[in-house]
Amino acid sequence: MKRSLLIMTLFIFLLAACGPAPSVSAIKPPFIETGISSETWASVPAGDFPYGQHDHVTFVEDFDIMVTDVTVEQYAQFLNDALASGDISISEFEVEAGEVVWHEEGVGGYYEGDPFDGYKHEEEIKPGDKLFMPMVDGLRLTYDGSLFTALDSYTNHPMTLVTWWGADAYCEYYDYRLPLEAEWEKAARGTEMVDDHGLPFPWGVEIHGNNANFYSSFDLFERMFGRLGNTTPVGFYNGQTYGVGEESYETHDSASPYGLYDMAGNVWQWMGDDYHDQHYRYMRGGSFYSYEVDLRVWKNNSAGPQHYSPSLGFRCARD
């Protein structure tokens, strides 16, 4: 019996000792040109659409929305512009989440605060200087003391590690805004009904690994860097076949009915809604960390506005 237990324990430890997987910050992917411009906008006309998992008919006014997520290069440009205009600063910021307060070095600026209802579990978001982007490992841009520059291999990847304030500040700076959940979902799924349901994915009713970047989708970067993978350049899933070294990877054209890319997978996207009785901000779309079920267009995620992550980005909308 003792011998059996010993063998079993050894077996378990051997398995547990499998080689370490690289962290996201350690990955240096090759630059891949997708041919999709991050400067493009799409127009979504006013009208009804099936909203949410249960397809509630909902009206949304017309609006424009970015075809891709904001890229690292675009965000670097914003930081440089806003630094020059004095709208943001590099400093140590106090971050408050729940009952915990800590300080983080990064880029930040003023935020006017949120209405506070004092509801159970609601945290007050007071006016003041807020952290937009922490200076941490994994950041895809460098700062040489005067200028932010996107890392070569990441220029056309979605900007990540931005708080909700950082995303909101980018959009506000250019007179845009973050999309609302209903707007985002309409842009993602359109108005088409198949078998009495709205589309569950931007491109249709089924999902394959070649449609989007999600956990274990066996995309190009998962092949190169392990199962975790990495973000893909914006607009990657456009029907092109990419060749990197000996690797060749075919994608399906997975644009939404309005021509938007990456509305499922790659990175979660911050939404602009501020709901009563709660301080959470919502995210949509799922990410390269998500299982495919979280890529369904009605699924959301939430966190306080101070949250940032390597799997979280944003895009802007405008009226």
At closest approach, how far in Å is the CB of 190 from other proteins?
A: 15
Footprint of other proteins on 122-161 (CB under 8 A)? 122-123, 137-138
At closest approach, how far in Å is the CB of 18 from other proteins?
A: 7
At closest approach, how far in Å is the CB of 11 from other proteins?
A: 9
Residue 76 burial by CB count (10 A; 0-12/13-18/19+): exposed, middle or buried? Answer: buried
Please report the sign of the dihedral spanned by the C-alpha atoms of residue 142, residue 81, residue 180, residue 61.
Answer: negative
Contact between 241 and other proteins per CB under 8 A: no
Contact between 278 and other proteins per CB under 8 A: yes
80, 84, 87, 91: CA torsion to nearest 10: 70
For other proteins, which is the closer residue by CB, 281 or 315? 281
Footprint of other proteins on 38-57 (CB under 8 A)? 53-55
At closest approach, how far in Å is the CB of 35 from other proteins?
A: 29
Q: How many residues sit in the footprint of other proteins (CB under 8 A)?
A: 59
At closest approach, how far in Å is the CB of 13 from other proteins?
A: 10
Q: Which of these, 283, 294, 158, lies nearest to 215 by C-alpha position?
A: 294
Contact between 116 and other proteins per CB under 8 A: no
For other proteins, which is the closer residue by CB, 16 or 39? 16
* Contact pick of 154, 165, 201, 221 for other proteins (by CB under 8 A): 201
Rounded CA separation 295/283 (Å): 11
Rounded CA separation 23/230 (Å): 10
Give the residue carrying structure tokens 């909101």. 168
Contact between 310 and other proteins per CB under 8 A: yes
Q: Where are the beta strands (DSSP E) in the chain?
A: 41-44, 47-51, 56-60, 63-66, 89-97, 100-111, 128-134, 141-143, 148-150, 193-194, 197-198, 241-244, 247-250, 268-270, 281-284, 300-303, 312-313, 317-318
Binding site for other proteins (CB under 8 A): 1, 4-5, 8, 12, 15-16, 18, 20-25, 53-55, 97-100, 119-123, 137-138, 195, 197, 200-201, 205, 216, 226-228, 275-278, 280, 283, 289-294, 296, 300-304, 307, 309-311
